[in-house]
A and B are shown apart, each in its own frame.
Chain A
Amino acid sequence: MTHESNRLPQGGQIDRRKRISFRFDRTNYTGYKGDTLASALIANGVKLVGRSFKYHRPRGILSAGAEEPNALVELRTGNRREPNLRATQVELYDGLEASSQNNWPSLKYDLLSLNQLAGPLLSAGFYYKTFMWPAKFWEKVYEPLIRRAAGLGRASGLPDPDIYEKATLHCDVLIVGAGAAGLAAALTAGRAGARVILVEQDHVLGGRLTDDLPTQHQSEGHTWLAAAQDELRAMPNVEIMSRTSVFSIYDQNAVVAIEKVADHCIEPAPFSPRQRMWRIYPQQVIVATGSIERPIAFANNDRPGVMLAGAVRTYLRRFGTKTGERIVVFASHDGAALTVEALHAAGVTVVAIVDPRENSSPAMIAAAEQAGASLFRDSAVIAAHGTADGVTAAEITTQGRTLTVQCDLIAMSGGWDPVIHLASFLGQKPKWNPEMQAFAAINLPKGMQVAGAAAGHFSSETAARSGADAASHALQALGMAGSQPAIPGWQGEPVQGSLYFVAPSRSGKSFVDFQNDVTVDDITLAQREGYTSVEHTKRYTTLGMATDQGKTANVVAAGLIAEIRGVPLAQGAVTTFRPPYTAVTIGTVAGRATGKHFRPTRYSPLHAWCVQMGAVFVEAGPWLRAQYYPQRAGESWFDAALREARQVRQSVGLCDVSTFGKIDVQGPDAARFLDFVYANTMSTLPVGKARYGVMLREDGFVLDDGTVSRLGADHFLVTTTTANAGRVMQHLEFCAQIHCPDYDFAMSSVSDQWAQIAIAGPHARDVLRTIVDDFDLSNEAFPFMGCATLSVCSGITARLFRISFSGELAYELAVPADFGCAVIEALAKAGQNYGILPYGTEALTMLRVEKGHPAGGELNGQTTARDLGLGKMMSSKKDFVGRVLAGRPALVDPARPILVGLKPCNADESFNAGSHLLERDAPKVIENDLGYITSTAFSHVFNHTLGLGLLQRGQERIGETIMAYDPVRSKAVLVEVCHPIFYDPENSKVKS
């Protein structure tokens, strides 16, 4: 166990009463509640925390926030292991286990750091210029090597044990960021009574408020912060959401955020989520997301021990820990004077301040004097010296000479960049603002404002004022009014400096994008090679494409590109901001809709009965349908289905057909409407009759088929296929509302209201007769294609349709869904004498293929009515959807494949749907392709496989032998072309 050697004896917002144990790279450490993993590692004197992506260079902690490029760790173990977490954002918890990543065999001695030696060879885009010979080597040699070397951390590779939730919120004002600006905005809006949501990614509020105040104002700042929090927490109309990060915003200011519910715990509490996704719909949005400090590029600026100056201050003040003993501050910016002042106040030695400005500002001079540090004006740090364990010296160029200053930390600052991601996600390009010396958000979306440092108000005082002002504007837009909180005269952070991006280093790598190892040389090379657009530079060098999205890199690169090209930064650009702001756990956005809950499962109202009958179910779109009913353990689907089909042909069977779409159409113009949407005529249908119908799309191809039953003069019931139920309903609504707005009728889906049972087989009537109440089922009274409303089982309302998919005497009986199981049980009981059996979708397919009925395989959206042998149904006497375009040349081409039946020449051979059809001896090339097989089934009637297919000049080929060619299943079977109706072509059975 090491000691927290860098921890100051007092200070910070950590809870010193709560000691925490954790492990990093198998070593035990301690920290305090309130620490991040980064602050605890710093307190323990750990400097080397990771290896870089390309060169595997040793890296330490650069920052204290979401912008961290270097300190990426794998957190947790086993199926909870998560790679690439920023140590600066990992809240310390007892038992935390983390390890460094992308190194082998160890963090300290990483073999791939040899890559550094080949540095000049591995320049930007080097891989575009080589690895091309021999061509086959890419997949076999080069790519596997590259893939293994790349890739950062290791995923668990296992299913996630945790659960996630989603929830929705509405509010008047959403404030993103609870720093000085956000708090002032929340106080203003909250006091006015607006419904306020204040979101903060950190687990504490305040942002940089206290870090950025001079020492003499520290206690005042803490007091204000505490009072603001107390007041806000007491307001019922204000919701504070900490550990919550707004990651994107979509059109109409639809905001999404991730709440880390349990990431600060060793694992989530039972039944509670690890993270929660919030959809937030605010009237007004105030983006108070703060700013990120800009590094400076100089040689070896990636050494452990080179840190952002603001982060040095944060670790000191918030976490009560030193980052070094002898510190060199390198800054073009007065903000760093605050760091000097804070370090001095904490008793840390600042050995030198290096200021590239010709004339250092009074603030910097005063800070240097106070801290007793040498101030080098018009100077630069041109190299960091040291080892993997950290910086040992800074090489400084000053007044034309070079000197080396011993130190163990270099704190750098090139200025501050507003965090404007949220303000840019809706397509607004940020623009360089010379006053702010940064890219600023412009052309904000309606209802959005930017406040605080995100708007260039870098001091806590001005930030707070701008937050309060933004809230006042938001209230005004909402028609509300309120008073702003008092904001003390903290003076705040002096912010001005001069732009400074790259030091004049002579050798060594100067990093711009730390994580992706993009150097000044790389960006220079990209310009030389013509990749001058900032987007080209990004893509060619991989600048800004690492897990930190270039938060510390992009503006430095923009400055460097402008310098190289000799154009003002005002003409420069940063690459487009893309959501999310920080990477988002995929599982959180998936929420509960995973595994079995990926999509809702629809159950037929007869499902319970099917289960009772021992059905094996199959997914049919959203539905679970009974596929077959094995009668004994181990009975195969094939044996069961064959047995079921035989039972239907020989006696009687029951089938759950509830999943078909059912649409009730009523009104004086209902018939007229159906004439318009069906290719055939429905208005001539007598009451008490059903008719098969075909619907086309407006482009002339078949949309769906089904039956229309006329239950009354103005009352029709339409059925659709299971698969197309939703689409047909949508289509009919379109036709009704847009094409027939003045027709007097109404329609509604009644698919879920009715259970529907097919009773099929020679004894169907005998079975049905036992349950109908006073209804004449005789062939004369209720013939084929009859329909009626009746009652069954002593008073249950029912609809009866004499329609047949199986080709046998058959009925479909519809009863209100809740009575479904009772009625089918009654039927099953009534059929016992006939050996009645339930049959599933497999038997159904066998029966319908024998009968040549088209189904999904044929209604594939590529077929015309004529292709399916239904061409004669298309009326020439009326306008209907699809009529005109169905007449286009290619749709009436006699060479189109049409529906035929197919049977094997050798009855022992079977063939599959999906086979293509060729002349028996023709070469197996696409030019000889005549069509394909759409459905197959084994027929117990014929004792061999039957198929339906679409075949060119199919009608003329009846009797010919052709080839069913199925190379992906290694099959080639000779088949005979025949009429598609194999069974009972005279249709006598259905009419018996």
Chain B
Amino acid sequence: MKYSIFSLLSQAFQGNKGWSTAWRDAQPKDEYDVIIVGGGGHGLATAHYLAKEHGLTNVAVLEKGYIGSGNVGRNTTIIRSNYLLPGNTPFYEWSLKLWEGLEQDINFNAMVSQRGVINLFHSDAQRDAFARRGNAMRLNGVDSELLDREQVRQIAPYLDFDNARFPVKGGLLQPRGGTVRHDAVAWGYARAASQRGVDICQNCEVTGVRIENGKIIGVETTKGFIRAKKVGFAAAGNSSRVAAMAGLRLPIESHVLQAFVSEGVKPLIDTVITFGAGHFYVSQSDKGGLVFGGDIDGYNSYAQRGSMPLVEHLMEEGVAMIPMLSRLRFLRSWGGIMDMSMDGSPIIDKTPIEGLYLNAGWCYGGFKATPASGWCFAHTIARDEPHKLNAAFRLDRFATGHLIDEKGQGATPNLH
């Protein structure tokens, strides 16, 4: 059933009894053309674009738990394409373009809200670094504006302009950046893919990979062996564990990132805004909760929880930046497992194993990338070669030195 105000009205009169499942909860078949391992945002988007853009519908998405149970279900909902480096900017801009048309494409309101993203700067050197980035965005045809202190004050009068340890000197604004209702992305892609014939198999954990003569044959799962011509891994957070089944080691560490939501309050903050004298980002959800986060805890972790010092650090940053946060209360905190790659950028590539493809290393930038990641991964799988947009996200770039290190931190994953 197509979702619209008309279907809502007609169902309202029938006591909402006529709605069908958003996606088919499928049992896996014996064989598929493509199996996607991981029913998160990226995996589901990949399935959608495989079906829609490449006509591949004999596709299964295998998810060990429930779909959207990884980072698409536990992020701070920010979308943006304000990247500096050539390998990144066009990719994230394509993602933003896909976000802009997503809801009509998948007939699911993910509440894409282009309310603007502001990165504050607090020094001349930081201003120049942001200008370099803003200019790179403009050269890529991406919207960006360098705001001075007064322009920032117009948009965000609640910042500490009087007593800040690191005074706000201005900000880099991307007006088209914003937020998206994160869970809806997983459900919307699942529904759209399912309608095109993709099997979405929940509670189906991949336990092994069968390879013969350097070629993928299929995957072992908790629901038995499933044959496949091609397999794509999209299991960020657990990429290394999945890759290990195929005998691959990755330039990735798993780290925990905490995020927070405050109690709901009437509208206070209208944009996404980030602190430049630390690492803190905040926006207000449509329900009224302030959603915010900061740095990873820094140590390797597969547990979805962080430690208290980071919480303290983050609250300090929040109040230093926005003094009115002090009297609000945070309601819930949670941790997600990040694929922290060695240069801070992702991998969407073929692997040395024929028919096996890898989508990994999203650090904590994976949510905004969801549409383009799925789109490019689908292309890479269907055509057996990367698209121009993901050509830089190669697995061999660590060997060649073609790194995409936005922050210039080097091979230290917890600094990206």
Contacts and interface: CB of A to CB of B under 8 A. Distances in A.
Quick check: do A and B touch in the complex, using CB within 8 A?
Answer: yes
Interface of A: 53, 80-84, 118, 120-121, 123, 126-133, 135, 138-139, 143, 146-148, 150-160, 162, 164, 166, 248, 250-251, 254, 256, 279, 425-427, 521, 525, 528-533, 535-536, 539-540, 542, 545-547, 549, 576, 578-580, 583-587, 589-591, 593-599, 601, 618-620, 697-701, 703, 856-857, 860-862, 885, 888-891, 912-916, 924-926, 928-929, 932, 965-969
Contacts of A156: 324, 327
Contact of A143 (B20, B113, B306, B325): B113
Interface stretch (B159-167, B222-230, B237-245, B375-383): B159-167
Interface centre among B16, B23, B65 (most CB of A within 10 A): B16
A126 B109 CA distance: 9
Given A153-B266, A590-B318, A966-B131, A861 B407 contact: yes
Contacts of A965: 135, 139
B237 to A, nearest CB: 15
Contacts of A579: 332-333
Contacts of A924: 138-139
B304 interface: yes
B265 A861 contact: no
A598 B165 contact: yes
Contacts of B115: 139
B330 A130 contact: no
Contacts of B407: 861
Given A157-B158, A585-B329, A595 B320 contact: yes
Contacts of A856: 125
A533 B202 contact: yes
A960 B409 CA distance: 33
Contacts of A126: 8
B139 A580 contact: no
Q: By CB atoms of chain B within 10 A, which of A82, A536, A597, A965 has the most?
A: A536
A54 to B, nearest CB: 10
A914 B319 contact: no
Nearest to B305: A427
Interface in B1-60: 3-5, 7-9, 11-13, 15-17, 19-23, 25
Contacts of A913: 128, 131-132
Contacts of B311: 589
Contact of A132 (B9, B107, B178, B284): B107
Contacts of A590: 312, 315-316, 318-320, 326
B332 A578 contact: yes
Interchain residue pairs A-B with the least CB separation, the first 5: A861-B408, A151-B288, A914-B131, A587-B326, A888-B401
Interface of B: 3-5, 7-9, 11-13, 15-17, 19-23, 25, 65-66, 68-69, 73, 86, 89-90, 100-101, 103-104, 107-115, 122-123, 125, 127-132, 134-136, 138-141, 144-146, 158, 160, 163-167, 172, 178, 181, 183-184, 187-188, 202, 262-268, 277, 284, 286-288, 303-308, 311-312, 315-320, 323-334, 397, 399-403, 405, 407-411
Nearest to B90: A926
A83 B290 CA distance: 14
Given A128-B108, A151-B267, A528 B19 contact: yes
A379 B25 CA distance: 38
A110 to B, nearest CB: 15
B21 A932 contact: no
Contacts of B158: 157
Nearest to A254: B308
B327 A129 contact: no
A91 to B, nearest CB: 17
Contact of B136 (A82, A120, A916): A916
Contacts of A162: 326-327
A153 to B, nearest CB: 6
Given A130-B5, A862-B408, A888 B19 contact: no
Contact of B112 (A138, A528, A533, A967): A138
A521 B17 CA distance: 10
A155 B266 contact: yes
Given A594-B320, A594-B323, 9 more contacts: A528-B17, A536-B68, A580-B332, A589-B330, A590-B318, A619-B166, A699-B403, A890-B402, A966-B131
A105 B104 CA distance: 37
B180 to A, nearest CB: 11
Contacts of B304: 427
B305 A966 contact: no
A914 B130 contact: yes
Nearest to B323: A159
Contacts of A889: 400-401
A130 B3 contact: yes
Contacts of B108: 128-129
6 contacts: A123-B16, A128-B3, A132-B4, A532-B25, A578-B332, A587-B326
A576 B21 CA distance: 24
**A425, A540, A580, A856: which has the most chain B beta carbons within 10 Å?**
A580
B265 A598 contact: no
A619 B401 contact: no
Nearest to B178: A139
B163 A82 contact: no
B131 A586 contact: no
Max chain B CB contacts within 10 Å: which of A127, A132, A583, A862? A132
Nearest to A123: B16
B128 A155 contact: no
Contacts of B303: 427
Nearest to A913: B128
Contact of A584 (B69, B165, B183, B330): B330
A593 B402 CA distance: 41
B288 A929 contact: no
Given A159-B324, A529-B22, A580-B330, A147 B267 contact: yes
Nearest to A885: B401
Contacts of A153: 265-266
A472 to B, nearest CB: 30
Given A587-B325, A598-B165, A916 B132 contact: yes
A914 B128 contact: yes
A130 B5 CA distance: 5
B388 to A, nearest CB: 12
B8 A121 contact: yes
Given A139-B115, A697-B410, A155 B265 contact: yes
A861 B405 contact: yes
Nearest to A251: B307
Contact of B131 (A701, A926, A968): A968
A547 B135 contact: no
Contact of A594 (B284, B316, B332, B405): B316
Contact of B334 (A578, A595, A700, A929): A578
